[in-house]
Structure 1
């Protein structure tokens, strides 16, 4: 049986997977992000995967700080996740993660994030850039929202409407 903590991580990882496809409904946004990543020496596929996992880590950290269950995660405001992406230290995002990940890609991406965090140098600079890209992406979704406080559940609803698989 899957624990609530594992289910919470899955919801956070799902948020990361649907974020960029939702933002990229305006194709120029993807082109701009690719230009920015390339200009900073970050492979676009790697950078986008790191933005996905960064999203999951920021959402997970905030959910743990608020003692949210997986069932309560959908009510988490996106603004709080955006604030955590740029307001928390990279190593703080790694606290409280599951011991194992159902999706091996998540475990690998978390390990790369961990490596970037502790290696320092230009890797720390890359994480700073990725945190800003993440915050920008979350703000883009929030600005598109007719509701004043977009939540993670609202993002999942938009992903369903857009036909993004969950």
Structure 2
């Protein structure tokens, strides 16, 4: 059985992955403009949408790591492809399972609460999360295709920033 400290440490690794994803994608500036255009078209505030993309990435990576019984020390070996596949392969509420009881960063706690509210609201909010999930999958795919290694891992992405 893993400790609460281990859960927090794993979450922190996943949250860091979420925070580095968009800056890595935005190395080509047109990608940021296109993403923001999508967010406006979906009636999602840009700042809120980009924070939800970070959170969606972290939640997905965390869910995949928990499903694979990975520790924070093992997280770097998690294939990006597995995380990308889970963004559209898991239901929103499945991404919320196994989260730590507390968060060291209040921003993370708030972002998870916002995600949770949207996931359970359904309707328009659910559609927006679905769209954000496709955006996360696309971002992970772009970064993976850019990687100099054939099958990039979460660790490769974390160390690229």
TM-score by length of 2: 0.97
Corresponding residue for residue 24 of structure 2: 22
| 1:120 to partner: Cα distance | 0.7
Unaligned runs of 5+ in 1: 160-166
Corresponding residue for residue 73 of structure 1: 75
CA–CA separation in structure 2 for the residues paired with 1:157 and 1:96: 26
Moved over 3 A (4+): none
| 1:2 to partner: Cα distance | 7.3
Q: Is 1:10 matched with 2:7?
A: no
Alignment partner of 2:43 out of 33, 41, 44 = 41
For the aligned residue pairs, the C-alpha RMSD in angstroms reads 1.1
CA–CA separation in structure 2 for the residues paired with 1:97 and 1:83: 20
CA–CA separation in structure 2 for the residues paired with 1:114 and 1:76: 24
| 1:147 to partner: Cα distance | 1.4
CA–CA separation in structure 1 for the residues paired with 2:159 and 2:46: 27
